Chains A and B, each alone.
Chain A
Amino acid sequence: MATVTAPMTNKRRTDLRKAILPYLYLVPAFAVMAVITFYPLIYQLIVSFTDFQTKDLRFGLASPELNFIGLKNYIDILTGGLPVQNFEFFRVLVFNFWWALTNVMVHVPAGVVIAVLLNTQGLWFRKIYRAIYILPVVIPPIVVATVWRNIFDEQYGAMNQFLTAVAQFFGSADPVHIRWLTEFTPPIPWLLPTGPLPLAYYAMMIANFWLGWPFMTVVATGALQSIPKDLYEAASIDGATGFQQFWNITVPLIRPAMIPAAVYGFTTSFNLFAFVFFMTGGGPARSTEILVTFAYDLVRNLRLFGAAAAFSVFIFFVALVVFLITNRVTRATESFTEA
C-alpha cells in the first residue's frame, strides 16, 4: 500500500506546487505594492472625506482635531467652494483637455510632414538632419521647460530679443517687450469659451511644439520606411501628383502607427506636470493650470490635504475616462489594420 500512495502524494505535491507557483512569483511585487501603492490609494480615499490640514500632520488620522466631513471636499471642488482664488474645476478640466488636444493636433501633422520631407530620396545631408531632429526627444522635459521659461522672460529672454532683431530689420527701433508669461488678457478672446487662453498658453504651445514633434517624426519615419516603394511608382505611372500620393498612400498606411503615438502624446501632454509647473506654474491667475499642477498646489502650497486627496480622486476618474476613450481608439485602429 505504502509504495502505491507515496508517488500519489508526490504527484499531488508537485501539482500543488505548480498551482501556487505563480502566486509565489507575484508575492514580492504585490507585497511591496500593498504597502506603498494600494494602501496609500485607500488612505487617499479616507483622507478625502476629512478636513485634514497641517495641524493634523502629527497624529494623522488619529488626530483629535480631525473631522470627517463626508462629501464636502468633493462638492467644494465642483462648486468652487475651496478657499482658493481663481479656481473653477470645469474651467481647469476643459483647459486640460484643450491643452492636450491642441498639442497632439499640432505635433502629429508636423511630425508626419517633417518625416516625409526627411524621407525624400536623394535629399542631401539626410543623416545630419536626422541626428539634429532627434535632439529634443533626448533632452529631459524639465530642462526644456526651464530653458524656455528663460527664453520667454520679459526683459532678458531670447524670444523678445529675437523679435526685436526682426523688428529692427523692418525698420522699427523699439525693443519688443511682450509679457509672455504674465500678460492675462487673451489674444484671441473667443477661442475657449470656458476660460481665457492667455499669452502664456501660446508660449507653452511653442515650447511644447519644440519638444513634441520630433517624437512623432521618429514614429512616422519608422512607419514610412515600411511602405513598399512600388506603391508610389505605380501611382506616379498612373499620373498621381505628389500631394495625391501623400494623401492616398502615405496617410492611410502610416495611420496605424500614428494613432497609438497620438494617444501616447495625448496622455503625456494631459499630465505634463513638470513642463507646466516649470514654465508658468499654472499662472497667470491659474489660467494655464492643469489638473495635476492644481492637485500639487493643493498639497504643496495650500496644504489642504483633504481637498487634495479628493481632487486626486477626481483626477483618477478623469484619467480612467481618458484611458477608456483612448484605449477604444487604439483598439479600433488595431481591427482596422487586421481587416
Chain B
Amino acid sequence: MSTITKTQDKNIIARFLTMNTSKEAGGRDVPLWRQILLQLLTLIIAAEVMFPIMYIITLAFSSKTTRPSALELIPQELSLTAFQQVLDRPTANPVTFTQLLTNSFLLSVGVGLVSLLVAVTAAYAFSRFKFKMRQVLMVLVFIPLLMPAVGLATPLYLLMNSFRVMDCGNGATALSPLMSCAEGAAGKVVFNLRDSLLGVGIAMIAGALPFAVWNLKGYLDTIPAELEEAGAIDGANPNQIFFLIVLPLAIPQLAVTFFLGFIGHWQEFALSWLFLSKPESYTLAMTLYNMTGQYANAIPWNRFAAMAIIVALPVAITYLALQKYIAGGLTTGAVKG
C-alpha cells in the first residue's frame, strides 16, 4: 500500500492533523500535530524568556508605589510616574539623574575610548611585526587578562588612595605622595584620586587595556595582508601603511572593540562601588544596586523597575545594533571573565 491511499483511508480529522504546515519549499513536511507540538514548546520557552521582562515592564509602568501583592505580567496601565520620579530624584541623596547619567557615560565611553587608542598600535605590532621578545611581551599582556577585575582591586585601591591633594590649613597645599604637610599637621584632603571618577577610570583601564590589545590583535589578524604588501611595493613606509591602509580598514573592528568596552564598563560595578564614596560621583549601576534588596527598604518597586529599564536600554540597543559583529568579538576575547 502506498502512502497516498493510506491517507485517503483515514477520516477527515486525521487528514487535517497530518497536513503539511511547512511553507518552505523543498523542506521536509511538518504535519499539523507536529507543528502544534513545536509551537507549544517554543511558546513555553518564549514565556520563560518574557517572564522577568514582562514583570519588570508591568512594574515600571504602574503608578502603584506599594510593593506588588499579586503577580501581574501584563501592564494594567501606562503610567510614567515611576520614570518621572526616577528622573527627578533617583536616590535619597541630593544628586540629579543627569549627574548619574553623565558619570556613567564619562566612565564607560572614556574607558572604552582611551583603552582603544592606547591599545591599537600595540595590537598592530603584535599582529604584523616579527621582533625579538614578541612571545614574551605577548604573554606579559596576557597575564593581567587571567586576573578577574576584582583581583586587581586591592593594589589599585591602595595606589590611587596615595594620590591626594591636601590643604594643610596655612594656605599651603601638598601633593601626596610626593609632599606631605608639615610635621604634626594632618591636613584636610581636598582631592583623593581614589575617590574620583578619574581614579576609577584609570583603575578600569588597567584591566580594559590588555583586553583591548588582545582583542584587537585577534581582529587585525583577520585582515588580509595583501593590501599592506601592495602598499609596501608602492613605496609606503611602515607608518604610512599603518595609518593610511590598516587603520581605515580596521575601523569596524575598532568600533566593535570600543562598543564592547562601553557595554562592559557601563555596567561596571565592583571598582566604582569600592572606590567612590561621594554620592555625586555615583554611577547608574551603583544606584540600581542601592535600589535592590536590603538597601531598598524605602524604594517603591515601580521606581526600581523603571531604573532597571533605564540602565538596560543603552546596552540592549548597542548590542542589538551590533549583534552580528559582537558574537565574533566575544569568542575572540573569550578568556576575560
Q: Which residues of A contact B (CB under 8 A)?
A: 18-19, 21-23, 25-26, 28-30, 32-33, 36-41, 43-44, 47, 52, 57, 60, 114, 117-118, 120-125, 129, 132-144, 146-151, 153, 155-156, 158, 161-162, 164-165, 210, 214, 218-219, 222, 236, 260-261, 263-264, 267-268, 270-274, 277-278, 281, 292-293, 295-296, 298-300, 305, 308-309, 312, 315-316, 319-320, 323
Contacts and interface: CB of A to CB of B under 8 A. Distances in A.
A329 to B, nearest CB: 12
B200 interface: no
A66 B323 CA distance: 51
Contacts of B224: none
Interface in B147-188: 147-159, 161-162, 177
A148 B21 CA distance: 38
B337 A268 contact: yes
B337 A267 contact: yes
Nearest to A260: B331
Interface in B108-146: 118-119, 121-126, 129-131, 134, 137, 140-141, 143-144, 146
Contacts of A316: 146-147, 151
Interface in B5-59: 20-24, 27-30, 35, 38-39, 41-42, 45-46, 48-53, 55-56
Nearest to A148: B52
A27 to B, nearest CB: 8
Given A123-B42, A150-B301, A260-B331, A140 B267 contact: yes
B151 to A, nearest CB: 4
A315 B48 contact: no
Contacts of B27: 121-122
B148 A60 contact: no
A135 B53 contact: yes
A308 B270 CA distance: 14
Contacts of B319: 137-138
Nearest to B320: A138
B219 interface: no
21 contacts: A29-B209, A33-B141, A37-B152, A37-B210, A40-B152, A122-B27, A122-B28, A125-B39, A125-B42, A142-B288, A148-B52, A150-B293, A164-B71, A210-B49, A210-B52, A264-B331, A264-B334, A271-B148, A305-B158, A323-B146, A323-B335
Contacts of B125: 22-23, 25-26
A26 B30 CA distance: 58
Contacts of B335: 267, 323
A153 B299 CA distance: 14
B148 A315 contact: yes
A134 B140 CA distance: 36
A124 B35 contact: yes
Contacts of B144: 33, 37-38, 41
A133 B150 contact: no
Given A26-B122, A57-B158, A158-B52, 7 more contacts: A132-B49, A135-B49, A137-B319, A140-B312, A165-B70, A260-B334, A299-B274
Given A37-B210, A158-B55, A299 B38 contact: no
A44 B41 CA distance: 52
Contact of B334 (A140, A267, A295, A308): A267
B67 interface: yes
B259 interface: no
Interface of B: 20-24, 27-30, 35, 38-39, 41-42, 45-46, 48-53, 55-56, 67-71, 118-119, 121-126, 129-131, 134, 137, 140-141, 143-144, 146-159, 161-162, 177, 202-203, 205-207, 209-210, 213, 238, 242, 263, 266-267, 269-270, 273-274, 285, 288-289, 291-293, 301, 304-305, 308, 311-312, 315-316, 319-320, 323, 327, 330-331, 334-337
A277 B50 CA distance: 24
A317 to B, nearest CB: 9
A22 B71 CA distance: 62
A271 B334 CA distance: 13
B108 to A, nearest CB: 11
A142 B24 contact: no
B67 A312 contact: no
Contact of B41 (A117, A261, A278, A299): A117
A214 B150 contact: no
Given A32-B118, A146-B288, A25 B21 contact: no
